[in-house]
Structure 1
Amino acid sequence: MIGRKLGGRYEILDRIGGGGMALVYKGHDLLLNRKVAVKVLRQQYVHDEEFIRRFRREAQAAASLSHPNVVSIYDVGQEEDVHYIVMEYIEGTTLNDLIKERAPLQVEDAVHYASQIADALDHAHHNEIIHRDIKPHNILIGKNGRVKVTDFGIARAATSSTITQTGAVVGSVHYFSPEHAKGTNTGEKSDLYSLGIVMYQMLTGRLPFLGESPISVALKHLQEDVEDPRKANPLIPQSVENIILKAMRKKPDERYQSAKLMMADLDTCLHPDRRNEAKVAFWDADGMDEERTLVMPAIRADQLASFDDDDEPEKSSWREEPAPKKGKGWIKPIVWIVILLMILGALWYAIGYVKGMFAIETVEVPNVVNKTLTEAQAELTAAKLGSTVEIDAESKAPKDTVIRQNPSGMRMNVGTKVTLYVSKGAPKIKMESYIGQQLKDAKLKLQALGINDDQITFTQTTTDDPPDTILKQTPLVGDEFELDKAAITFVVSKAKETFKMPDLVGMTEAEAKAQITKLNLKLPANGITREKSYKVAKGKVIKQFPFDKNTDVSVGSEISLIISDGLPEDAGQLTVSVPVKPTTEGKDSEFKIIVSDAQYENFEYKTEKVSKPQNLDVKVIVSPDKKAVILIKEGDNLVNSITRTYQDYLDQKNGKNVSPSPSISPSSSPKQQNNGPAIPVGGNGQGQTGGAASKPPTGGTN
């Protein structure tokens, strides 16, 4: 079912649960873009009209209810032999899982959950729907603590007279009400009895009635009184125990008359004035009836005679009566006792004989988990039980291994079918050919299949092939292997000789080609590309790849170059006239011109000795996002700075006058002189540093 689209709308994503009648999947509503729960009738029941009617009854019952504590029904459909119900998806867990994890629950939490369940039942009963299967498995707890009642699969209208279906009682035996177990009319109070058991289990961590078989549990519901919950958990307040005891009375008339009354009792049971209230007492009609049938000893003959003597008048003292003769009155009672014992013995024998005729043989369900399907079926057949098989595609156990069974650990009627969940086995992958491919490419493909890097090993051998080329592989092409047990081995080529790659960046194209030839490397036919550059002069190498400076490279390897094609089209070249004036006229002063523009950064453009005022021409390059800053230093003192922007270039190009540059007098402090950010004096990053007047590289001006 995983991946299937039902009704062209509901995509099945994952299995999240299941019961005796249906499986539940997590799905995605493609139309409304929301998560949904999809309940699908089990395949073995798709031709059973009774189960189909019961499945549809659940949809009809739940769809007629609209309540915050009842799971909403969105859609019902049938596609081929798949019957499904689309329901609200609840992020959370079941109350059954919560009990297993945290039981006994805090009293406040248990009362809070029970109150919400009672609210849902009150709504259902108001709409004449009896749930009939209230149990922790059918109670969902959302992440926000909201309770949702689900699974109305055996619900009936309140006017229905019986719950028997072709002689069988439908429901969960541990949560049966006594009238449910007898197969008589089940009404609203039966749901409240089941809710009482759910509360008992939440607060004690155990069920009130246990037995070796479902029949024995049902009989205990009919005959035995429940043990007080406070004996198992003394922390339960008396008021809460009273609610449980009242909900679990054998006689429906002694229980709560409605879910609303029980909910009202739950809302106040934790108030301080109620916690220690008196234990609830119920009317015992048998103990108060003076006319009830009693077992009394028979009156002996001598007792009867003395009684008669007391009533007679006193005889005259002179008249004597002869003493009565002792009779044989004991014979008659003994005869009647013997006859009664014979009748009871005959009845006992007859009852045993009739019981033997109608008794159903039960057997213990053997545990067949972790056995092969063949062994499990043989063992179940030997135990006079049948089996149905469910394939589990997600299990990683060996193929045809029983990973779980339902039921287990209990006695069942002869001929009952046990559901076996069998592993489909780990999927196998067919080995493809990776010969001739690069090792890194093959690893990426195998990792995409789910194979870990530590499952892939390789050995190297020296050949004329390019390095890391796969020459041999194990497993061979077409061999199948399991994903978890995969062990992939490659034999790959190894370069004959390696050396450190020199730096070609900054060389001219001719110099770089000569160096590549000298090193026995290869320049592919399309190995040279050209790019515009502000930083690198035209005709010089901007970048080399795939082997950078000082990386290992083998003889015969291919290397490509990116060559500068000069300045970009939008580069602006400006000539700036820089005025300089010596400190003392007629005496030499040394001025340094430092340029930061689109081509250089802190480049010492030139150094000039000046003995009289004059202008020095400085060529700079600006770009739309990079201005030019010219710093003029006399010795180590900043005496002037000039800034040119791309707008200045556009103005000059269009014949407009460029605004005069700000000047700084020699006496001004460096902090006041600099109109832009402080720029340290340094090299240009290409081996040119301060010193004598330096000529700028020609690459940016060509």
Structure 2
Amino acid sequence: MGTVWRAFDQLLQREVAVKEVLIHDGLPDREREMLCERTFREARAAAQLDHSSVIRVYDVVQDSDRPWIIMEVLDSRSLAEIIADDGILPPLRVAEIGLSVLSALQAAHKLDILHRDVKPGNVLICPNGRVVLTDFGVARSPNESRLTSTGLLLGSPQYIAPERARGRPFGAPSDLFSLGATLYAALEGKPPFDRGEPIPTMTAVVCEPPDPMPNAGPLEDVILGLLEKNADERWDAERTKSAMRAVIAAERRRNSTEEAPPRRIREQTAPPSAPKIVKKLPDRPRGTTPTKHRGGRHRRSGEGDLFTALTRPIMTAAEATAAIVVSRNNSGRHASDTGLPSAAPATAPSVAKESAWANPPTWGMLIAAFTAAIGLGILLAVLAS
């Protein structure tokens, strides 16, 4: 219907897009007037909508008896180009695009503006993700007169609503049907009722169910709801918006789960205990029995030898000290005391008694004996523990 040029506004010093309306030579004057009026209508409809998903129109001028629309320039590709070049889109991206287009349609419907030509070629996708609905060339407001001749149908047959194909009254649900067909094409790579030619295609739109959609996934119910033949039973904007938001949330959660690296779960194990030191006991000689200690504990092999070696000097010292004391006490006894004949003179008793205590046990001897006894007690206590 027209060609879009990239231009530069010398007055405002900015780049703009200029849409040229193509008027073929030999076109009857009546149809020429209708085409020019439709261009002005497009400019007015877009200018009324202040929405991020609707292209902004700056001005409209007429030169050489043809109108030119001055609008924002977008570095973008149409959804139709993306499908042709890159293939089908995943449900998440299709739902995001659908939600943006739906928001633009709601803004237009609030002003009683019907787009009437929603299709992949009129949906622009910018590199930053922005989605823009453009080409309001066949849009119509209720207070504007009809510009179509009798029997002339405006719009694309593959995306037109059944009530419009039948020539019946239509409204906002017709744009929603076209939105459903557009999203179907983004998911499956082709329109849902395409039969090659306009008449068979419109017959399928009116009478046949949409083709299967194996790639729709969670969007299948949404698409089927929008493609309902009966406009009264077709999903409305609010129900469609709620369903697409739910799909977007679910798909984002699923994608984040799949892309996240697996979390390593630390095994809950008992803390390591101190290593047990097991000392191998030496073999016990045959015919011997372990010595039983206090508390039922058996004395370790070799423990008796160690005890004997440690206590022998102490016992020897104690015995020697005791022997000295005893011998000192017994060395001066009379022969009569023992019942044996005395070899000493009869006058010797007093001298003998004195000599018996002439060298009594010293304190050093007693202390040595006492120390030996204490040492023996300490050693026995240590070995017993």
TM-score by length of 2: 0.61
Question: Can you list the C-alpha shifts for 1:595-645, whole angstroms capped at 9, x where unaligned?
Answer: xxxxxxxxxxxxxxxxxxxxxxxxxxxxxxxxxxxxxxxxxxxxxxxxxxx
Distance in 1, Cα, partners of 2:221 & 2:68: 42
Among residues 98, 101, 106, which one is paired with 1:114 in the alignment?
98
Structure 1 partner of 2:120: 136
Counterpart of 1:616 in structure 2 is none
The alpha-carbon distance between structure 1 residues 40 and 197, as it changes in their structure 2 partners (threshold 3 A), is same
Q: Does 1:38 align with 2:22?
A: no
Task: Report if the CA contact (8 A) 1:125-1:158 is conserved.
Answer: no
Matched, 1:166 2:144: no
Instruction: Note the 1:588-627 alignment, pairs <5 A.
Output: none
What does the per-residue CA deviation read over 1:648-682, in whole Å, with 9 as the maximum and x for residues that have no partner?
xxxxxxxxxxxxxxxxxxxxxxxxxxxxxxxxxxx
Q: Which has the higher contact order (CA 8 A, sep 6+)?
A: 2
SS at match of 1:255: coil
Match of 2:68 among 64, 68, 84: 84
Instruction: Choose which of 220, 243, 252 in structure 2 pairs with 1:265.
Output: 243
Query: Are 1:246 and 2:225 counterparts?
Result: yes
* Partner residue, 2:129: 145
Partner letter of residue 254 of structure 1?
E
Alpha-carbon distance, 1:54 to partner: 1.1
Task: Map 1:303-322 onto structure 2 (within 5 A).
Answer: none
Distance 1:131 1:27, change over 3 A: same
Distance 1:183 1:38 in 2: 33
- Whether 1:255 and 2:234 are equivalent positions in the alignment is yes
TM-score by length of 1: 0.34
The 1:188–1:127 alpha-carbon spacing in structure 2 relative to 1, beyond 3 Å, is: same
Superposition map of 1:167-182 within 5 A: 167-182=151-166
Counting only pairs closer than 5 Å after superposition, residues 319-338 of structure 1 correspond to structure 2 as: none
**5+ residue gaps, structure 1:** 1-20, 277-702
Compared with structure 1, are the counterparts of its residues 274 and 241 closer, same or farther at alpha carbon in structure 2 (3 Å cutoff)? farther
Larger radius of gyration: 2
Pairing 1:71–2:49 present: no
Is the contact between residue 158 and residue 188 of structure 1 (CA under 8 Å) also seen in structure 2? no
Q: In the TM superposition, what whole-angstrom CA distance separates every residue of 1:540-594 from its partner, at most 9, and x where no partner exists?
A: xxxxxxxxxxxxxxxxxxxxxxxxxxxxxxxxxxxxxxxxxxxxxxxxxxxxxxx
Cα drift, residue 142 of structure 1:
1.0
Query: What residue number does 1:96 align with?
Result: 80
**Equivalent residue for 1:29?**
9
User: Whose helix fraction is larger, Structure 1's or Structure 2's?
Assistant: 2
What is the rounded CA distance, in whole Å, between the counterparts of 1:42 and 1:273 in structure 2?
Answer: 43
Mapped contact 1:128–1:159 kept (Cα < 8 A): no
Contact map agreement 1:78 1:84 (CA 8 A) in 2? yes
> How far apart, in 1, do the equivalents of 2:188 and 2:253 lie?
18
| CA deviation after TM superposition for structure 1 residue 28, in Å | 0.7
Name the SS of the counterpart of 1:254 in structure 2.
coil
What SS does the corresponding residue of 2:107 show, helix, strand or coil? Answer: helix
SS of the aligned residue for 2:60 comes to strand
Query: What amino acid is aligned across from residue 243 of structure 2 in structure 1?
Result: D
- What's the CA shift for 1:195? 0.6
Q: Is the 8 A contact 2:193 2:211 kept in 1?
A: no
Q: Which amino acid aligns with 1:64?
A: Q
Q: Give the CA deviation at 1:52.
A: 1.2
Separation in 2 of the partners of 1:42 and 1:90?
21
Distance change in 2, residues 1:173/1:189 (3 Å):
same
C-alpha deviation, 1:80, in angstroms? 2.4
Which of 155, 170, 177 is 1:193 aligned to?
Answer: 177
- CA distance, structure 1, for counterparts of residue 136 and residue 163 of structure 2: 19
266 and 82 in structure 1: CA distance in 2 versus 1, 3 angstrom threshold: same
Closer, same or farther: CA 46–264 of 1 in aligned 2, 3 Å: farther
Does structure 2 retain, via aligned residues, the 8 Å contact 1:22–1:40? Answer: yes
Alpha-carbon displacement from aligned partner over 1:146-204 (angstroms, at most 9, x marks no partner)? 00111000101156797853321111111110011112222100010001011111111
The answer to whether the 8 A contact 2:74-2:126 is kept is yes
How far has the Cα of 1:43 moved from its partner?
A: 3.1
Number of residue equivalences: 250
The one-letter code sitting in structure 1 at the alignment partner of 2:88 is: P
Q: Give how far 1:275 is off.
A: 11
1:675 alignment partner in structure 2 = none
In 2, distance between residues paired with 1:246 and 1:159? 30
Please give the alpha-carbon distance, in whole angstroms, between the structure 2 residues aligned to 1:194 and 1:161. 23
CA distance in 2, matches of 1:161, 1:26: 32
Q: Separation in 2 of the partners of 1:55 and 1:99?
A: 28
1:156 aligned counterpart, secondary structure: coil
Equivalents in 1 of 2:76, 2:158: separation in Å? 24
Q: 1:198 to 1:86 in 2, by over 3 A?
A: same
Give identity over the alignment, percent. Answer: 37
What RMSD, in angstroms, separates the aligned Cα atoms of the two structures? 2.4
Mapping of 1:490-501 within 5 angstroms?
A: none
How far, CA to CA, are the matches of 1:256 and 1:274 in structure 2? 24
SS at match of 2:232: helix
